[in-house]
């Protein structure tokens, strides 16, 4: 039986970090060069929920996702605002993760 989705930011962050780890491991295994900034941006973008229902559920459980940020245009709708906030959250967390790993 599939686990019920909780719609907390921590779930998004955990999934994005796992995705980043997998991609870095793959690049190292295949001896592929990668740009850290591009990789983080791609992982963050790929981990933003696609469905409106999911975005609204995340916003209802994480009210800070509903406030307009610098990534939003003047005429952004609520879905675009939530997406931009999730992207910003994930990029910050992924950079923090990379910086922590490099410090070890």
pLDDT digits (tens, 9 = 90+) for 74-89: 788 889 999 999 999 9
Give the helix, strand, coil percentages of the chain, each rounded to 5: 70, 0, 30
User: Could you count the other beta carbons within 10 Å of the beta carbon of residue 91?
Assistant: 18
The predicted model scores a pTM of: 0.88
First and final C-alpha spacing in the chain: 38
**Positions in the chain short of pLDDT 50:** none
C-alpha torsion 57→13→86→94, nearest 10? 180
Hey, what domains does the chain have and what are their CATH numbers? 9-103 (1.20.120.780)
Q: For residues 80 and 68, what is the distance between their CA atoms, to the nearest angstrom? A: 9
User: Number of C-alpha atoms within 13 angstroms, CB side, residue 95?
Assistant: 9
């Amino acid at each position: 039986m599939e686990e019920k989705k909780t719609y907390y930011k921590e779930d998004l962050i955990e999934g994005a970090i796992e995705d980043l780890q997998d991609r870095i491991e793959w690049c190292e295994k295949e001896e592929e060069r990668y740009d850290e900034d591009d990789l983080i941006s791609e992982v963050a973008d790929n981990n933003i929920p696609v469905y409106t229902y999911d975005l609204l559920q995340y916003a209802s459980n994480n009210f800070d996702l509903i406030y307009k940020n610098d990534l939003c245009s003047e005429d952004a709708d609520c879905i675009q605002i939530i997406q931009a906030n999730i992207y910003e959250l994930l990029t910050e967390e992924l950079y923090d993760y990379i910086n922590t790993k490099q410090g070890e």
